[in-house]
Amino acid sequence: MDEVTLTLHEEKVSRVVVGSGALSRLAGLVTGLDPLNVLVLADSGVPDSIVDSVVNQLEGRGMTVSASSVGGGEGVKTLGSVEKIWRLMVASGLTRRSVLVAIGGGSLLDASGFAASTYMRGIKLAYVPTTTLAQVDAAVGGKNAIDVGGGKNLVGTFYHPDIVVIDPTILANLPNHIFVDGFSEVVKHAAIRGKRWVSWLLTIADAVMARDEKVLNEVVRFSVLTKLDVIRRDYKERGARVLLNFGHTVGHAIEVVSGYRISHGKAVAMGLVAEASLATKVLGLPMDEADLLSAALTELGLPTGIGYSAEELVSVMRLDKKFLNGRPRIPLPRRLGDFEIVEFEWGVIAACLSELTH
């Protein structure tokens, strides 16, 4: 098991524990925050056995615990759900001496993180991610957001949880479509690290799909430590962190155009393939490296073809908060492991995408 402490500034430290069995560490870590009381907020899709074990663990340490569930999935990332969470916090008597423990997928963590960062201008927060995507990506990094007016992630804050407990054994029983979703972010992290990591994923893909506990543990650990390394260098997205957006410009547009019927993970898989293809054209990314990326995604059960027109995608991309004042700037690989931020004219990006989508 790895424990990483991120010191963000003198007042804020984020402790991330990752590895099989990590869940058993939660109550001890929460005790260290010395809370007056705790609200456990669960994603309605999470099995009761996980939520009960968390509540029992906390109560076993003598804490005053309330528990509630809100919806799960992208639909929870609305102002309405956030208001519901704020009201639950008031009803549970939460103060700045309290801890919110959020258990769920990336959507529930995003909505809870936003609620926790704004309630009383910020209360203590612990995350227990329960989907692959939430474990390998969403739970670390301190970004949260909700969807507003048809735009994805338009309103949010930077707010690092005090504690993140990432236990890959939770992934063993996930429905397959939720299980595979997170691997697009793992492939993205491997692309940021370099070709040999993408090749490594390809060699272990069968064991990952068979949910081999040891291999899953390695993959989740690799992904979390890679993301933490980027965040440590740039936690407010002013530099290196922009690389984490690889695949997400086209990916977010696909999610929105599909009306969120295509999940974040699958949309990012398609976005990675589309953006790698852009990179072969504008930066000379070798074709075999783009193919390697596609092969890893396919072997990890993810789709790679885009079923929407370039016009539809570009009209949505123009709403992306990162581009509201100008042209799209997209991190693309010159080689796997060697990225550059490329600024496009909208016309150029539309032309490139229409080659891919027709």
Ligand X SMILES: NC(=O)c1ccc[n+]([C@@H]2O[C@H](COP(=O)([O-])OP(=O)(O)OC[C@H]3O[C@@H](n4cnc5c(N)ncnc54)[C@H](O)[C@@H]3O)[C@@H](O)[C@H]2O)c1
Q: Does 331 bind ligand X (CB under 6 A)?
A: no
By beta-carbon proximity to ligand X, the closer residue of 143 and 189 is 143
- Which stretch in 174-182, 200-208, 228-236, 292-300 sits in contact with ligand X by CB under 6 A? 174-182
Least Cβ distance, residue 14 to ligand X (angstroms): 13
Q: Does 131 bind ligand X (CB under 6 A)?
A: yes
- Report the alpha-carbon distance of residue 266 to residue 260 in Å, rounded: 11
Least Cβ distance, residue 132 to ligand X (angstroms): 7
Active site residue 358: no
Q: Does 19 bind ligand X (CB under 6 A)?
A: no
- Report the alpha-carbon distance of residue 36 to residue 38 in Å, rounded: 7
Active site residue 177: no
List the one residue from 30, 35, 70, 104 that touches ligand X (CB under 6 A).
Answer: 104
Q: Which residue has the tokens 């697009």?
A: 184
Determine the longest span between alpha carbons in the chain, in angstroms. 62
Catalytic residue among 9, 121, 238, 358: 121
Q: What is the DSSP string of 249-313?
A: HHHHHHHHHTTT-S-HHHHHHHHHHHHHHHHHHHT---HHHHHHHHHHHHHTT------S-HHHH
Q: Does 72 bind ligand X (CB under 6 A)?
A: yes
Active site residue 241: yes
Active site residue 9: no
In DSSP terms, 65 is beta-bridged to 38
Q: Does 88 bind ligand X (CB under 6 A)?
A: no
Please name the residues in contact with 351: beta carbons below 8 A apart, sequence gap of 6 or more: 310
List the one residue from 19, 35, 45, 161 that touches ligand X (CB under 6 A).
Answer: 45
Q: Provide the b/e sequence for 234-243 (b: ≥16 CB within 10 Å).
A: ebeeeebbbb
Q: Does 65 bind ligand X (CB under 6 A)?
A: no
Please name the residues in contact with 274: beta carbons below 8 A apart, sequence gap of 6 or more: 247, 250, 306, 353, 356
Instruction: Kindly report the number of other CB atoms within 10 A of residue 48's CB atom.
Output: 9
- Which stretch in 107-115, 191-199, 299-307, 326-334 sits in contact with ligand X by CB under 6 A? 107-115
Q: Does 134 bind ligand X (CB under 6 A)?
A: yes
Active site residue 152: no
Q: What is the DSSP string of 149-184?
A: TTEEEEEEEE---SEEEE-GGGGGGS-HHHHHHTHH
Q: Which residue has the tokens 């063993």?
A: 172
Active site residue 237: yes
The dihedral region occupied by 153, where left means phi > 0, alpha psi between -120 and 50, and beta the remainder, is left
List the one residue from 23, 43, 257, 293 that touches ligand X (CB under 6 A).
Answer: 43
By beta-carbon proximity to ligand X, the closer residue of 141 and 328 is 141
> What is the bridge-based pairing of β-strands 163-166 and 65-70?
unpaired
Q: Taking CB under 6 A as the criterion, which residues in 138-157 touch ligand X?
A: 138, 141, 143-144, 153
Burial of residue 212 (CB within 10 Å: 0-12, 13-18, 19+) is: middle
Least Cβ distance, residue 180 to ligand X (angstroms): 10
Active site residue 185: yes
Least Cβ distance, residue 64 to ligand X (angstroms): 26
Active site residue 121: yes
- Which stretch in 86-94, 103-111, 186-194, 339-347 sits in contact with ligand X by CB under 6 A? 103-111
Q: Does 74 bind ligand X (CB under 6 A)?
A: yes
List the one residue from 123, 264, 336, 344 that touches ligand X (CB under 6 A).
Answer: 264
In DSSP terms, 5 is beta-bridged to 15
State the residues that interact with ligand X by CB under 6 A: 43-47, 72-74, 77, 104-108, 110, 130-131, 133-134, 137-138, 141, 143-144, 153, 170, 174, 178, 181, 264-265
Catalytic sites, residue numbers: 121, 143, 185, 227, 237, 241, 245, 248, 252, 264
